[in-house]
Structure 1
Amino acid sequence: MAHFETLTDFIRQTEAQFRIFDMGRCISKLSPDTFRQVEMGHIPYPTPFLHQAWIAILMWNPKQADENVVWFLKLPLDEQGFLVQAARDDFLNRLLQNLSNTMGKGPLDQPTDATEYRDALKDNPFSFTPDQEKMAAFHATAKLTTRQPASSYYDAAKQYFHGKTKLSDWDTLGYQGIADYVIRHQQGNNEQKLAEIFPQLPDVPLEAACTFIEHIQPAEALSTTIRQRLETTVTEGQASANQVGALLRAISQTPESEQKIAVLSEVLKSPYGREAEVIAALASRCWASLQYPQLLQLFLETLANNDAGQPCFNRVMADLMFIPTLRALSLQQFRSLERSDALSKAIGGMFGDGFL
């Protein structure tokens, strides 16, 4: 059986075209060169989530792009965010053994098409299945990447977000159609139309759209209207914590700005800031904004007073401190003489539970 030093090397020897995506906090492209550097142990995984690297590998034959294969993998990281080499080697050995058994070929034998790799992860402990929301977003992303048509639900979603049907008729929309529409935001005038209708969207289609906006890079118009709706929602105080969390997910990929930091600060100062759903959205999706020291300070103080108590504080910090920049900044805040008694107590509880 042939030996491969990295998973990237193995994929490159096939005839399939491929793309690698990070699937942790949001769906984003991960260059093969970067992932190979991670595999070689030269750099830590750039966007760890829950102490693991969550990735998707999309493979397809250029002549049969509609017959693509997707591998969803979660690989453990060490305390510094580097890939655990033994786990990667174990995964690769299982993969090669499965291919030899199911295809009746050595790994260097070229496949007839990419679908021969479809069952390569059968019974592999490093594989995972994304939740419904992320699966719909990835399906839309895969279709766009391989230049395939959107799902049959796309046209109805387009009609809705373009204002061609009543706002109250959202219950006729397919979830996959909303994913397709948002992921294809750069096609036609989709993003502009979404920005125009966003302030009027009813709760359900609003939250669904936000779920998928977190996987794109919104331009100025859409970024502005997301920020304004989040600000209005928090000020009025009538929405659910889930809706505020959804809007935080949507704003997470908008460009960093003073206005964005200001509205995130308002969220933290409001009663919503102590809700578990809102804290989770802020920590897992808006982590880049938390690199602003003033916002991080406010976040930590609010987290120390969260409605779910010490366990919530521990879980959130265990994830955030896995990100090198946030670990360093958080430790600075922990040492601050200006920290509150509540934060001091939460920090003591965290270290007392064997956090590090």
Structure 2
Amino acid sequence: MTQLSSISKLLQQSGAQFRIFDMGRRISKLTTDQFDKFEQGLIPYPTPYLHHAWLALMLWNPKHKQQNVVWFLKFPLDEQGFLVQAVRDDFLGRLMQNIQQMLDNNAISEANDALKDNPFSFTPDQEKMAMFHAIAAHITQQPASQFLAGAKAYFSGDLGWDQWSGVGYQGIADLVADLESQQQYLLNAIPNIPSEPLVALATCLEHSKPDHKIAEALLARLKKAIAEPEQASLVAALLRGLSNTHSDTLRSQALQLTLNSQYQGSAEVMAAIATRCNESLQHPELLHLFLERLAVSEAGQAGFSRILADLMFIPVMRILVLQQFRNENRSEALSKAVGAMFGKKFS
């Protein structure tokens, strides 16, 4: 069997249709051109998370779309965010060895076995897996799960807003995956549902692109939540749900409100902002406010350093954060936190 020189060539020669997803901060599509340039070492990974590229490679038979396979892969990145070529080569070598063994044993029927014992494979958490299944079914025009009907019944309001315990997370994910046609269910429910199903909905919405109507409904719930005690988890979830909306204005407003609220020091909220709202943090005034709040948050110095080490791994964010670190108007608290992270000689 011919040794392949790249994952891109493997996909192109498979004869299958395929799509590549980033699985790090949120589920999002990667173009084949982006992936090919990343694999060749021409560009850094566009959306690194915890110093890794988290990928899903989905392949399906164009004539029988229900015949598909998904490989979840996690590759370490170098200090500049590029793929380590030796890691890619190691992955391909292990993959080809497993495929050859499957051919020798006439066991090619299970394509997922090609990743057996591969150190670069991973399993997404249950919430992200549910959303991925929903997205994959929508792309390949397969039926949604059996849980969709129950989710529709609940989000329509017919069951009563307190009857959420029987609603499956997969059903909510199926609703969100088909957001364009199912939007009215969400608009009907967001103002009314209790915190628990709202958290589930918001954590699904971070993988979609809600329009301004859904974003406005989420923002109204956020305003209510930040005025109440002990709602940090809900506030964090709502920020995640708003993080990928088309409206930059609404996203920025949500961050401003939160960072000036009683939850400005919540470690959970700070982590949600850093990991999901990095596009909004490209606004200098929001980034400055976030850094000032993070420096005195309950995350402490360890949390400050961990959160920023991950955020600064995104090339554009590294430049912007360093600019804020050198801002003459930074507080003493931020200066101390920066000094503890980089050393007192940082300037």
TM-score by length of 1: 0.93
Name the counterpart of 2:210. 218
2:153 maps to what in 1? 159
In the other structure, the counterpart of 2:249 is 258
Contact 1:56 1:72 in 2 (8 A): yes
Task: Tell me if 1:51 matches 2:51.
Answer: yes
Question: 1:105, CA displacement in angstroms?
Answer: 8.9
On the 8 A contact 1:49/1:319 being kept in 2, the answer is yes
Aligned to 1:9: 9
Q: Which residue of 1 is the match for residue 315 of structure 2?
A: 324
Alignment of 1:93-104 (within 5 A): 93-104=93-104
Q: Which digits, 9 at most, give the CA deviation of each residue in 1:112-158, with x for residues without a partner?
A: 8xx54211111000010101110111111111111110000111101
**Residue-by-residue CA offset, 1:209-228 (whole Å, 9 max, x unaligned):** 01100011111211111122
Which residue does 2:263 correspond to in 1? 272
**Which residue is 2:126 aligned to?**
132
Quote the residue 2:136 is aligned against.
142
Amino acid at match of 2:146: S
Please give the secondary structure, in 1, of the residue aligned with 2:66: strand
Distance in structure 1 (CA, Å) of the matches to 2:244 and 2:9: 31
Distance in 2 separating the partners of 1:343 and 1:136: 39
Amino acid at match of 2:216: T
Q: By how many angstroms is 1:240 displaced?
A: 2.1
Instruction: Name the amino acid aligned to 2:120.
Output: F
Residue by residue, what CA displacement relative to the aligned partner does 1:228-249 show, whole Å, maximum 9, x if unpaired? 2112211x22342111111011
Aligned residues, how many? 346
Shift of 1:258: 3.1
Shift of 1:160: 1.3
Per the TM alignment, residue 290 of structure 1 is displaced from its structure 2 partner at its CA by 0.3
1:184 paired residue among 168, 175, 178: 178
Measured in 2, the distance between the counterparts of 1:285 and 1:257 equals 14
Other structure's SS at 2:158 match: coil
121, 126, 133: which one aligns with 2:115: 121
Partners in 2 of 1:134 and 1:286 — Cα distance? 18
Q: Does the residue aligned with 1:55 lie in a helix, a strand or coil?
A: strand
Q: Residue in 1 aligned with 2:331? A: 340
Q: Residue type of the partner of 1:135?
A: M
Partners of 2:215 and 2:250 within 8 A in 1: no
Residue type of the partner of 2:147?
Y
The one-letter code matched in structure 2 to 1:293 is: P
Q: Does 2:198 match 1:206?
A: yes
What residue in structure 2 maps to residue 238 of structure 1? Answer: 229
CA contact (8 A) 2:24 2:49 kept: yes
Partner of 1:68: 68
Q: Distance in 2 between matches of 1:172 and 1:12?
A: 43
Alignment deviations for residues 142-177 of structure 1 (CA, whole Å, 9 cap, x no partner): 111111100001111011112222111111111111
User: Which of residues 283, 302, 313 is equivalent to 2:304?
Assistant: 313
| Distance in 1 (alpha carbons) for counterparts of 2:133 and 2:103 | 26
**How far 1:84 sits from its partner (Å)?**
1.0
Amino acid at match of 1:161: F
Partner SS, residue 157 of structure 2: coil
Helix, strand or coil: the match of 2:163? helix
Following the alignment from structure 1 to structure 2, what is the Cα–Cα distance between the partners of residues 27 and 103? 33
> Once the 2 structures are TM-superposed, how far is the Cα of residue 301 of structure 1 from its aligned partner?
0.4
Q: Residue deviations 1:272-304, cap 9 Å, x none?
A: 121111011100000100000000000000010
Amino acid at match of 1:223: A
Q: Tell me the C-alpha RMSD between the 2 structures.
A: 1.9
2:295, 2:334 within 8 Å by CA — same for their partners in 1?
Answer: yes
Secondary structure of the structure 2 residue equivalent to 1:65: coil
Counterpart in the other structure of 1:229: 221
Give secondary structure in 2 for the equivalent of 1:171. coil
Is the contact between residue 21 and residue 55 of structure 2 (CA under 8 Å) also seen in structure 1? yes
CA contact (8 A) 1:256 1:289 kept: no
Partner SS for 1:199: coil
Structure 2: runs of 5+ lacking an equivalent: none
Secondary structure class of the residue paired with 1:272: coil
Alpha-carbon distance in 2 for matches of 1:83, 1:105: 33
SS in 2 for 1:120: helix
Deviation larger for 194-203 or 59-68? 59-68
Letter in 1 for 2:47: T
Helix, strand or coil for the counterpart of 1:129? coil
